[in-house]
């Protein structure tokens, strides 16, 4: 990587050279020497910059928050969910979802799996959630659909993770929507004792 490429990459990320220096843990003078071509850009710094550019925007923002000395307002942890069929005589369910650094996974009382991701928007304080919902064979969905084989559909929703509980509108790829309730249950453990 040449100095001109470094300068362009830092600008593309929306960082000043001083902010990039703080983020990389080097002095602004070091960045200046690399940009001018007076010193070779270290390989690990190039790798860090490439990785930073490849991160999804919400994870990049987590890294940028280190500059400000603040963490994301996204509250990772375990959330309980309950839902009722919008169809008369339809079923209901309850489950748990784990929100963990951009990933979401969980299960419900019928062994239905939830796997996906969330994007937290610092500006609005809301998280957009995208999940693949996978049903085991012969398990009835709240929409009254049951198949003799494993099957899945996608869902999207937006939640306010600052709230301890609330309703959320869940949109599905099969054209039906549902209102679900969520409740924050607990934070993720900082570390696991050996």
Per the confidence metrics, is the pTM higher than 0.85?
no
Do 13 and 101 share a domain, yes or no?
no
Contact 137, 110 (CB under 8 A): no
**Domain count for the chain:** 2
- Identify the pLDDT of residue 194: 46
The reply to whether 191 falls in a domain is no
Reference 162, options 116, 189, 131, 124; nearest CA is 124
The reply to whether 163 falls in a domain is yes
Do 112 and 24 share a domain, yes or no?
no
Tokens of 150: 């494993």
**Residue 108 belongs to a domain with what CATH number?**
2.40.128.380
The reply to whether 71 falls in a domain is no
Task: Give the tens place of pLDDT for each residue, 144-159.
Answer: 889 999 999 999 999 9
Do 22 and 81 share a domain, yes or no?
no
Do 134 and 50 share a domain, yes or no?
no
Beta strands in 3-135 (DSSP E): 77-84, 92-100, 103-108, 113-121, 126-135
Task: Give the tens place of pLDDT for each residue, 60-69.
Answer: 776 776 666 5
Do 145 and 87 share a domain, yes or no?
yes
Domain residue limits at 119: 77-186
**Residue 45 belongs to a domain with what CATH number?**
1.10.260
- Identify the pLDDT of residue 114: 97
- Identify the pLDDT of residue 69: 55
Q: Which residues in the chain land under pLDDT 70?
A: 58, 62, 65-73, 89, 190-194
């Amino acid at each position: 990587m040449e100095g001109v490429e470094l300068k362009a990459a830092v600008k593309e990320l929306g960082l000043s050279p001083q902010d990039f220096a703080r983020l990389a843990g080097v002095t602004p003078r070091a960045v200046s020497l690399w940009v001018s071509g007076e010193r070779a850009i270290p390989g690990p710094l190039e790798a860090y910059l490439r990785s930073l550019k490849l991160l999804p925007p919400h994870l990049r923002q987590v890294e940028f928050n280190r500059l400000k000395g603040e963490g994301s307002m996204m509250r990772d942890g375990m959330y309980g969910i309950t839902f009722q069929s919008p169809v008369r005589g339809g079923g209901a369910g309850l489950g748990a979802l784990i929100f963990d650094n951009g990933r979401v996974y969980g299960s419900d009382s019928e062994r239905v799996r939830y796997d996906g991701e969330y994007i937290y928007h610092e500006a609005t304080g809301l998280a957009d959630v995208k999940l693949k919902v996978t049903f085991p064979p012969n398990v009835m969905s709240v929409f009254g659909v049951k198949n003799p084989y494993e099957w899945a559909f996608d869902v999207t929703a937006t939640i306010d993770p600052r709230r301890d509980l609330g309703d959320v509108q869940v949109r599905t790829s099969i054209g039906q929507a549902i209102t679900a309730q969520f409740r924050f249950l607990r934070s993720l453990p900082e570390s696991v004792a050996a």
